[in-house]
Structure 1
Amino acid sequence: MKQLFFLCFALLLPSLGFGQTYQELYEQALEWEAKDSLAKAEELFRQVLKMEPANPRNAFVFSNIGVMQQRARQYDAAIESFSYALNISPTLVSTRLNRAVAYIEVGLSNKAYVDYCEVLDVDKTNKEALLMRAHIYMTRRDYKNARKDYNQLLNIDPANYSGRLGLVLLNQHDGRPKESLDELNVLLEQYPRNANLYVMRANIESENGKQELALMDLEEAIRLDPNSPEPYISRGEIYLARKKKKDARRDFEKALKLGAPHSEIHPLILQCK
């Protein structure tokens, strides 16, 4: 009877995590993570940490725990886990990028900025760090440094959509409509069926007195994406400015039917009386 008990216990040992090496337990945790069984994966990762607390590879264990916490939107806990990982191995670029994202999620963009700077000290061509640091510069209205990062990103990757779009917005904020239109023209050559780009170009054209060109772009945007409310709103505003109130009202009502916020559209409709 005792022999049968010990045999059963021996068979249970691997499932309980006993008798496994650090590497085996780590790989088992990764398998559970791949299956989206995050609670089980985290439990196994924490067993790994207890098994060899001084192992330098624990940086990756903490980083994996942080990624799972981030996926669960536990951003404060994720920041703590990423920080433990970086205390062990400060040059883990992916971990620093992940911590920066978590910092942004909890409104700590200044700390995210430091992480992006640290990444770029290690890898001056890191596209994610350049893009996100440029975005932070934009929120600070530091257009000069934002431009440097966007230009550096586009030097590395001329076809980078987010980088070029960021430069469009930067030029708008910086009072450079011509440069914004130039960048949009480049994007439209790459993405000729992107309705949002036509709306963006139309809005810049309209703001700079080129309403006929704007109307043409809005017609194209509607053709490409007839279920988007944005081109109808923009076209309605042009019609309203031209005192074509009937046409404006028709576009605003269409935008409402397509899901535009009533709080945004109702005041415009009132101006069409």
Structure 2
Amino acid sequence: MAQSSQLDLSSQTVQEIANLRQQAFMASQKGQFAEAETYWSQLIDYLPNEAALWSNRGNVRVSQKKLTDALDDYNQAVALAPEQPDPYLNRGAALEGLGRWEDAIADYTTLLTLNPNDAAAYNNRGNAQAGLGNWETALGDYQKAVDLDPKFAFARVNAALAEYQLGNADEAIRQFRSLTRRYPSFADARAALTAALWGQGQSGEAESNWVAVMGLDRRYKDLDWVTSVRRWPPAMVAALERFLHL
């Protein structure tokens, strides 16, 4: 997003702002989110009309699970820059985290009127539709995201997960296999492939993939995380539960 003009500021203040920007970005990149929030807040004190600052502070607040505070920041960013797409994408993600699926869909739809070729917006809108249980609609959005960006691995795995939820297990397995061949370290696709193969009675290949998953990301052993954070569809969660229990 374009940065606001710093006219009428002293050279000392301009330098202080530049230093704060650098510190804010560095802290954000290092995962020091509380520290980054402090820097972004100081920048907002200097430049309260710069929408990007509000949006960036919202991002680090999301990383600290301060979703309500982040939403306030994104609201301010949208008010300051209603024609910029980024605040809608960020606010939509925060609304998803709060379970406000329809509001999130509205933000992603607004974003797509501003940028019809935004693959992330289609993928995220698919996630929000999935939150409502609208799996056919979600699949359409995921497929549109893949059409726009064929290398968008998460959109591809989301489409395969939606296929599985809709009862198209063979097509889902085909897509999971394709993803694991192309991205051997993609734990999400391997974990989903494990569960789907186990459900088809292909235990050897399932167990082989699971060994790889455990070397990549052990969170897939936690069904609560898979359900609430990764937000797999119910049929896929049930398939993984059967594998883990047996």
TM-score range, shorter chain: 0.7 to 0.9
* Aligned residue pair count: 217
2:149 counterpart residue number: 191
Post-superposition Cα deviations, 1:123-154, rounded to whole Å, max 9, x if no partner, equal: 21222211111111111111121111100111
1:68 counterpart residue number: 22
In the TM superposition, what is the alpha-carbon distance from 1:58 to its structure 2 partner?
6.7
Contact 2:136 2:166 in 1 (8 A): no
Contact 1:137 1:146 in 2 (8 A): yes
1:150 counterpart residue number: 108
In the TM superposition, what is the alpha-carbon distance from 1:59 to its structure 2 partner?
6.2
Match 2:176 to one of 218, 243, 246: 218
Q: Secondary structure at the match of 1:236?
A: helix
Counting only pairs closer than 5 Å after superposition, residues 1-273 of structure 1 correspond to structure 2 as 55=9, 60-70=14-24, 71-72=26-27, 75-76=33-34, 78-256=36-214, 259-261=216-218, 264=221, 268=243, 271=246
Amino acid of the residue matched to residue 264 of structure 1? K
Distance (Å, rounded) in 1 between the aligned partners of 2:186 and 2:41: 42
Contact 2:145 2:152 in 1 (8 A): no
Alignment gaps of 5+ in structure 1: 1-53
Distance (Å, rounded) in 2 between the aligned partners of 1:262 and 1:72: 26
Post-superposition Cα deviations, 1:50-75, rounded to whole Å, max 9, x if no partner, equal: xxxx9567764554343233223565
Amino acid of the residue matched to residue 27 of structure 2? A
Alignment gaps of 5+ in structure 2: 1-7, 223-239
The 1:92–1:62 alpha-carbon spacing in structure 2 relative to 1, beyond 3 Å, is farther
In the TM superposition, what is the alpha-carbon distance from 1:235 to its structure 2 partner?
2.2
Contact 2:191 2:220 in 1 (8 A): no
The 1:195–1:147 alpha-carbon spacing in structure 2 relative to 1, beyond 3 Å, is closer
Once the two structures are aligned, what percentage of the paired residues are identical? 14
Contact 2:27 2:36 in 1 (8 A): no
Distance (Å, rounded) in 1 between the aligned partners of 2:101 and 2:216: 34
Q: Secondary structure at the match of 1:72?
A: helix
Contact 2:173 2:197 in 1 (8 A): no
Q: With structure 1 as the length reference, what TM-score do the two structures score?
A: 0.66
In the TM superposition, what is the alpha-carbon distance from 1:254 to its structure 2 partner?
4.3
The 1:260–1:96 alpha-carbon spacing in structure 2 relative to 1, beyond 3 Å, is closer
Contact 2:193 2:206 in 1 (8 A): yes
